[in-house]
Structure 1
């Protein structure tokens, strides 16, 4: 049962009613907890907070993209990409078992969630989600880079955070974060220095 079905709105028209329903349903994003710790409080962030942070990162860091990007379009990509986790759940970066079923779960969630919108908007939002996943445009590559850079900054502030996951080493972190380099050489160089310093401080198990 969707949230609007629990307490239906008064009739407001077919298209607008569908849009209101979608907007109410995505309030669920605020309840999806991620593994990343907040820098400002002793708790984990939720997906809505993560998406907001990514949008701000795009606005602030767009100048470091190796290719020209449409900032507004890139903000749309980072705002939409995690909505599917309302139904699919968050899959932590270092959860290898969960990653095996992630694509299937998220595609099913995308069809269900975006299907709540009027047809034209359902297609547009699904296209944004697919674009982010495919990483074939400069905007999608930069959006993905922000998605990998943001938890890196939070883990640094937590003196390790999810880097301390059993079995994770500095080499694992570098491998999972390397997509940053596909969008920005300068941001990837900075990210690698952050990882290296975390390794020197013992916040992540040493690599080979």
Structure 2
């Protein structure tokens, strides 16, 4: 039960992506829930057959480490330099609160997500990248505009998104990115 109470803290970890109404930014728990539901609904678009429940579990736990490590903004190159070390230390503490079998399972899911080496982790990572694109599009690029995000930054972050779902990546590019580029919400590269 201590772990169950501890992970409630995920609700306090703010992200840079606004909710679809643009009124406030989402938190990590909302992000995890949203991606899990998206996986349930969109798994048919995975490039490879996936274990849907495992993928949902991966998405629900992969950002728990941010309780200790904090959220590293997708385009924060300085923060990314220490992200792995911060998140590994957080995984040690958080998953270490669990009985050995649960510690092992959740840690293996977290490591699998981070590696991107399996069909489930590739699709989970695609959801982790497409969900904020969708919310940014719903808010007419509000967060992208606030941060002066360049097209090259978005494309670099999403360079492997198509490995999880080429159809969903194509949809996101055409419907979320290009309209916001045309509207000046995403900064074009010269």
TM-score range, shorter chain: over 0.9
* 8 A contact 1:169–1:205 mirrored in 2: yes
Q: Which runs of 5+ in 2 are unaligned?
A: none
- Correspondence for 2:62 among 72, 81, 85: 81
* 8 A contact 1:148–1:180 mirrored in 2: yes
**Alpha-carbon distance, 1:192 to partner:** 1.5
Instruction: Tell me the TM-score normalised to structure 1 length.
Output: 0.88
- Correspondence for 1:203 among 175, 185, 188: 185
Structure possessing the higher relative contact order (Cα contacts under 8 Å, 6 or more residues apart):
2
2:5 is aligned to 24
Deviations 1:85-107 (A, max 9, x none): 00000000011100110001000
Query: Hey, what's the Cα distance between the residues in 1 that align with 2:117 and 2:108?
Result: 12
**Alpha-carbon distance, 1:167 to partner:** 5.2
**Alpha-carbon distance, 1:179 to partner:** 2.1
**Alpha-carbon distance, 1:161 to partner:** 2.7
1:33 is aligned to 14
1:62 is aligned to 43
Query: Hey, what's the Cα distance between the residues in 2 that align with 1:111 and 1:136?
Result: 22
Query: Hey, what's the Cα distance between the residues in 2 that align with 1:54 and 1:38?
Result: 13
1:108 is aligned to 89
Does 2:25 match 1:47? no
* 8 A contact 2:22–2:142 mirrored in 1: no
Task: Identify which range, 83-92 or 189-198, moves more after superposition.
Answer: 189-198
Deviations 1:88-139 (A, max 9, x none): 0000001110011000100000000000001111111111100100111100
**Alpha-carbon distance, 1:162 to partner:** 2.7
Please state whether the residue corresponding to 1:45 is helix, strand or coil.
strand
**In the comparison of the two structures, how many residue pairs are matched?**
189
Q: Which runs of 5+ in 1 are unaligned?
A: 1-19
- The structure with the largest alpha-carbon Rg is 1
